[in-house]
Amino acid sequence: MADNDDKTEQPTSKKLSDARNKGQVPRSKEASTFFVLIAGVLSLWVFSSWLAVGMRQIMFNSFTLTREQVFSTDEFRRIFVENLKDVALPLIGIISILFVCAIVGSIFIGGYNFSQQALMPKFSKMNPLSGVKRIVSLNSLIELIKGIFKVSFIGAFCYFAISGKFAELMSLSYLDPLVAIKRGITLLFQLMIIIVCAMLPIVIIDVPYQKWNYIRQLKMSKQEVKDEYKDTEGNPQIKGKIKQMQFQMAARRMMKKVPEADVVVTNPTHYAVALSYDVDGTTAPLVVAKGVDEIAEKIKEIARETNVPIVRLPPLARSLYYTTALDCEIPRGLFQAVAQLLAWVMGMKAYKEGKQQQKPKNLDPNLPIPDELRF
C-alpha cells in the first residue's frame, strides 16, 4: 500500500463512484446545524403568535382546575387532550419545517446517497486498536479544534446578546401571561437569529474544507492509477495486440477484394483506393479497398499481380480515401470524376483487347472535384 505522501494524483471517476457506493460522500455537520437553525427561526416567525395563544390557554387550563377536576381521571384526560389540541398544529408545523431543513442540510454537499454497504456491519470497527487510531488521528484533532472554536465563538455571541436583554428577561414575570409568552418567543427568535449569524462564517469555512478533505482522503498514487486503468480498460499492451490482430484480419479480408476491382486510384506514394463498378447494376461505384503507406503498397502490389489498372490521380485518391467507407458507394459529388475515370479505364481495356481501334486520349488529371471534397 502506498504511503499518504505518495498519493499525489486526483481520484479518478471510478474511485469517486466506488467511494459513493460505499457511502463515503462529503458531509458538513455545520451546514446541517445551520439549516436546522434557519428552520427554527423560520418556524418561530410563522407560528409564534399561534404558539403563544396555545401556550397561554394551556397555562390557563392548568392553573384553573377545580377540586373535582384534579381528582377525576376522566376530566384530567379531557383537559390534557384539549391542551394538546391547542399546540398540536403549530408544533406539527414547526417539526415539519425542521424535518425538511434537516434533510436539505444533510444533502447540501455530497447530494442524496443511499448505500447498502454503509448499512452492513463492519467488525473491523470493533478493533480497539483501530478505534484508538481514529481517536488520535489528524481528523479528530481538527474536529476537536473546530468544536472548541465553534463553542467559544457562538458562546461569545450569545453572551453579549443575552447580557443586553437580561433586564428584559427578568421583567417577563410581571407581564400578562400572553404578553410575556409572546415577548419570550420574540427574544428567543432574536437569539436564534444571532446564533445563525454566528454560524454563517463557520459554515462558509467548513463546507469547502469538507470537500477538500474528502478529495484529499481519496487521492491515489501513480501506481494505483495505473492498476485501476489496467483493471478497467485492460492491459494497454494486450489491448494494442488485440487491435493489431483485428486490423490485420480486416486488412486480409479487404485485400481479397482487390482483384475484383475495376481500377486502383493512387496518390501515388501514400494513398490507394480500389473501386468496383457493376455496369449492369443500379448502384454507384463501390470502394472495395483503401489504405495508406504499407497498406496502399500492398493494394498496388495485388493490383499489379491481378492486372487491375492503377491510375495516378492524387486529388481524387485523397478525396476518395477521406470521404468513403469500405463497401460503400462513393459520394454523389465525386460521381462525375469517377465516371470519367471508369470510362477511360474501360476504353483502354477495350483498346488492349482489340475491341476498339482508336486509343483513348490521355486522362485529364484535373478531374472535377468539389471544393468541399478536396483534401
Strands 310-312 and 263-266: parallel
Neighbours of 86 (CB within 10 A): 20
Round to whole Å and give the CA distance between 94 and 92: 6
Residue 145 burial (CB < 10 Å; 0-12/13-18/19+)?
Answer: exposed
pLDDT on residue 160: 79
* Residue 214: closest CA among 8, 16, 350: 16
Encoded amino acid at 321, one letter:
Y
pLDDT on residue 2: 45
Residue 219 burial (CB < 10 Å; 0-12/13-18/19+)?
Answer: middle
- The string over 64-74, giving b where at least 16 C-beta atoms fall within 10 Å of a residue's C-beta and e elsewhere, is eeeeeeeeeee
Give per-residue pLDDT as tens, 151-161.
888 788 778 77
Strands 286-292 and 263-266: unpaired
pLDDT on residue 133: 61
pLDDT on residue 121: 57
Domains and CATH numbers, the chain: 8-220 (no CATH), 247-373 (3.40.1690.10)
Which segments of the chain have a pLDDT < 50? Answer: 1-2
pLDDT on residue 259: 85
Half-sphere exposure of 165 (CA within 13 A, CB side): 17
∠ CA 49-190-177, rounded to 5°: 40
Q: Can you spell out the DSSP letters for 312-324?
A: E-HHHHHHHHHH-
Question: In the chain, at which residue ranges do the beta strands (DSSP E only) sit?
Answer: 263-266, 271-276, 286-292, 310-312, 328-329
